[in-house]
Structure 1
């Protein structure tokens, strides 16, 4: 139950902040955002505020912001159609009733001759006296079909009408907010837990760790391991990681006395899929506001470097996809992090947020990075790519991503449950 709750909270936060970035900068550019969704598939819960419908959907595999002009737009009303018109106080059309006009006795029924809901915002139509009239349409008018209202999107409210810079920022804002979230989480971590200090010293011990069982204590100053002098936390952890399941002798200073403590590191899968040792200790810490802020930025940068290193190894074939986690794998790792305590879970959440930001910026069709590539090509060409061709590329990219997700998920199931 703790694992499920942790997954819901962490993924909900990561997806929410990512999509909020898109939403905020799109709205600042004047783009009509029809829907802000967490998840995909059928709606579980929804409410409308201002122009946007906020929804929670069944499948927790991400989210989206539906901006006007990105998807096929309004219902196509052709000459000869009969529609009902409802007017506001200043005489402009506020509602266009496409069908079920009998349910709207207040509507004036007309036969459309010409309609432009994007640029001119007019309807030319014949009224019940067969007179051709021209009606002005309110920029926030609604189309009512099957009693469902959809706000029209004049050209200046559509995604495609905005400058290259405005569109690029609206797309880039999602991943950017994931990096911001990671920095904030890590600053909070450092303020609560302290800033890790690069000293060869024993910090907090895990009760299940090899260090605790061997008799090491918090505050022990590690002088050497197997006779090799040590000066930093990084040097000490490097020796530990290189000796899984091998007894190593810690020479430590405790209360002015030098002791030798044999420890056998446990084994786990390392960053690059190889076996590494660990003994269940945290680095020593200190508390500082300025240092915590610095730690938030530097640790986020460290996570970014690690992720790019792994991606590089995948591209060059040095790293197997067997070590890439999908939803099932991440669920299990989140459970393990939750079991280790809130501070480990915070660092895991920050790492996931950085990972989400980077993956979304990769130049892959259907991802934010792929969309930025098309915007960049438009800037170079001086004109946009054909929307149908771009849509086809994104569709193929999305299909391939779903296929990859299925493969990775199957690997996760094999690793954890078979």
Structure 2
């Protein structure tokens, strides 16, 4: 059964609505902190606006004009006696921002950041109370020779905690590991009988990610004896070496310089070790065999040599077992199969699990057709054709959710700080930064996954905004705090021209950052990624 176009359109409109609400909330909650702190110390708030631009409608309560503005992305607070530098000329009126002592103005400045962290904690706690779908932190597969394997972690065992922080899902692991490159981490592991033991291991860093050598993917078998037939080309980077050599999507790269392709990782290493060398690829295209010459090269600065393809593994059927999905689909000896993706029907109230299917390309006798293979995890015969993450619902009571909310806020704060530190140490690159386009994209995706996922993302973005606003340069709150600390320690503010100079530099740097991260976002949307 498929959803009607009307329902798809309604889902899209609903998701866009939540994108606008969430994006407004990211900034609005920060400004709410400034508003509440200003009221607390007796500063008159002249305008509190949800959104920017011309007012759509307003109402006044007390001395504050509350406004809903044309562009509903964020908001702002206008206090009496304040401009972009922090102060207007002091007229001596007690309700003006500029009339307040430095310590009270510092409270107003830091309140926005504090509200970001409080909002993140509330969002994380609410997410766990509402319920989210998670991939359990179970080692379904353990890579031989990996840190996990050497530490004695076995398939089926569950990770309970890392460095004292509780782990409820696989997604909890990366923030706990990525900030500790090359450093040992303390794990708590639970075996199938429920017994727990401490395990110390040192994660490996590959690119921007920390790995310990476990996978949450459950192997998917189709009831057939399979052998690797080569690398199935899913996409070709335009003007890359593979494109120039004549390689096309849906080609199967069967051999390199006469050596059969039997392992994807070994194939990648062979390409990466062949910069400037001419490689002869044996290419299978709908039964026809071609020989094409390709020369790997770096497609980006400091990137390893590539030929510019996205690929997955292609398999050849050697034998079909009775009673399995392969027999039901009438697969035969010699058929070549490549998995193109995995689909999951949306969960309904009557269905507590996801109905997964493999979308595969079948080649037989020089022709190709598309197959949809129902996933049966009880089938274990033959080589696994693919792997799938098995999600399960996670819903906690108020106490457990509040504990997880606290740890999530702390762990994500460490993650953001670790990322910023990694930019200066070389662990991360400026190309890894994400901007508003990515935030909108992630928010849209989260809104389609459910309220819990949207709350988790809201918390993560709030943590990011809180940390970034502590940067000690105007127009960030951290810059204003620096000015106020100077004023409190010296008994007088910085000269206005000095403040203006710092503000100008800060605004220019901020605009450059916005251009950079937006460029990164656009590159991710259109950049073909492969090897």
Aligned to 1:16: 28
Aligned to 2:91: 118
Aligned to 1:372: 481
Partner of residue 47 from structure 2, selected from 16, 31, 35: 35
SS in 2 for 1:70: coil
TM-score normalised by structure 1 residue count:
0.62
Aligned to 1:169: 107
Residues matched between the structures, number: 302
Using a 3 Å threshold, how does the CA distance of structure 1 residues 58 and 320 change in structure 2: closer, same or farther? farther
Aligned to 1:330: 439
In structure 1, C-alpha distance between the alignment counterparts of 2:132 and 2:523, rounded to whole Å: 39
Aligned to 1:190: 128
In structure 1, C-alpha distance between the alignment counterparts of 2:485 and 2:424, rounded to whole Å: 24
- Conserved? CA contact 2:103–2:488, under 8 Å: no
SS in 1 for 2:389: coil
In structure 1, C-alpha distance between the alignment counterparts of 2:464 and 2:434, rounded to whole Å: 12
Using a 3 Å threshold, how does the CA distance of structure 1 residues 289 and 264 change in structure 2: closer, same or farther? farther
SS in 2 for 1:361: coil
Partner of residue 363 from structure 1, selected from 465, 472, 478: 472
- Conserved? CA contact 2:435–2:517, under 8 Å: yes
Using a 3 Å threshold, how does the CA distance of structure 1 residues 41 and 316 change in structure 2: closer, same or farther? farther
Aligned to 1:302: 411
Greater Cα offset, 49-58 or 171-180 = 49-58
Shift of 1:352: 0.9
In structure 2, C-alpha distance between the alignment counterparts of 1:190 and 1:403, rounded to whole Å: 37
- Conserved? CA contact 2:139–2:214, under 8 Å: no
RMSD over equivalenced CA pairs, Å: 4.0
Q: Which ranges in structure 1 are unaligned for 5 or more consecutive residues?
A: 74-115, 120-153, 203-224, 251-257, 267-278
Q: Which ranges in structure 2 are unaligned for 5 or more consecutive residues?
A: 1-12, 141-151, 163-168, 174-202, 204-209, 221-377
TM-score normalised by structure 2 residue count:
0.50
Aligned to 1:64: 76
SS in 1 for 2:83: coil
Alignment of structure 1 residues 5-404 onto 2, 5 Å:
5-60=17-72, 62-71=74-83, 118-119=91-92, 154=93, 156-193=94-131, 200=138, 228=155, 230-232=157-159, 237=170, 279-282=388-391, 285=394, 287-404=396-513
In structure 2, C-alpha distance between the alignment counterparts of 1:264 and 1:294, rounded to whole Å: 40
Using a 3 Å threshold, how does the CA distance of structure 1 residues 198 and 64 change in structure 2: closer, same or farther? same
Shift of 1:340: 2.1
In structure 2, C-alpha distance between the alignment counterparts of 1:67 and 1:387, rounded to whole Å: 19
In structure 2, C-alpha distance between the alignment counterparts of 1:350 and 1:246, rounded to whole Å: 25
Shift of 1:332: 0.9
SS in 2 for 1:232: strand
Using a 3 Å threshold, how does the CA distance of structure 1 residues 298 and 331 change in structure 2: closer, same or farther? same
- Conserved? CA contact 1:194–1:292, under 8 Å: no
Shift of 1:195: 11
Shift of 1:198: 8.1
Q: Highest relative contact order (Cα 8 Å, sep 6+), 1 or 2? A: 2
